[in-house]
């Protein structure tokens, strides 16, 4: 209602995802491009903050869990 949209669909991929592959798809139908673009930006920000999304980033200096707010936590190996 906030953006006057007609329809919204959000899909988030789970499982192993290779770098460069799509992880989130947001489809929005509305009457004006400006409202649709604002809504899409607000939705991805909300998904990042509210959904339990994280990824394991493997780098030369170690492995890190990356949380939705971009916080990186070094993975410990027990």
Q: Which pLDDT score, from 0 to 100, does residue 41 have?
A: 94
Q: Cα dist. 36→4, 9, 17, 62, 78 in Å? A: 9, 12, 27, 39, 47
In angstroms, rounded to a whole number, what is the distance separating the alpha carbons of residues 51 and 2? 20
Q: Please state the domain count of the chain.
A: 1
* Residue 15, both tokens: 């499982």
Q: Which pLDDT score, from 0 to 100, does residue 69 have?
A: 74
Domain containing residue 23: 5-74
How does residue 7 score in pLDDT terms, banded at 50, 70 and 90?
A: very high
- Convert the pLDDT of each residue in 17-71 to its tens digit: 888 899 899 999 998 999 999 999 999 988 888 877 778 888 899 999 887 777 8
- Convert the pLDDT of each residue in 9-19 to its tens digit: 999 888 888 88
């Amino acid at each position: 209602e906030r953006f006057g949209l007609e329809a919204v669909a959000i899909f988030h991929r789970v499982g192993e995802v290779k770098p460069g592959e799509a992880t989130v798809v947001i489809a929005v139908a509305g009457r004006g491009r400006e409202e649709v673009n604002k809504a899409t930006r607000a939705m991805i920000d909300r998904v990042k903050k509210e959904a339990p999304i994280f990824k394991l980033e493997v780098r030369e200096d170690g492995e890190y869990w990356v949380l939705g707010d971009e916080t990186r936590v070094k993975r410990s190996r027990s």
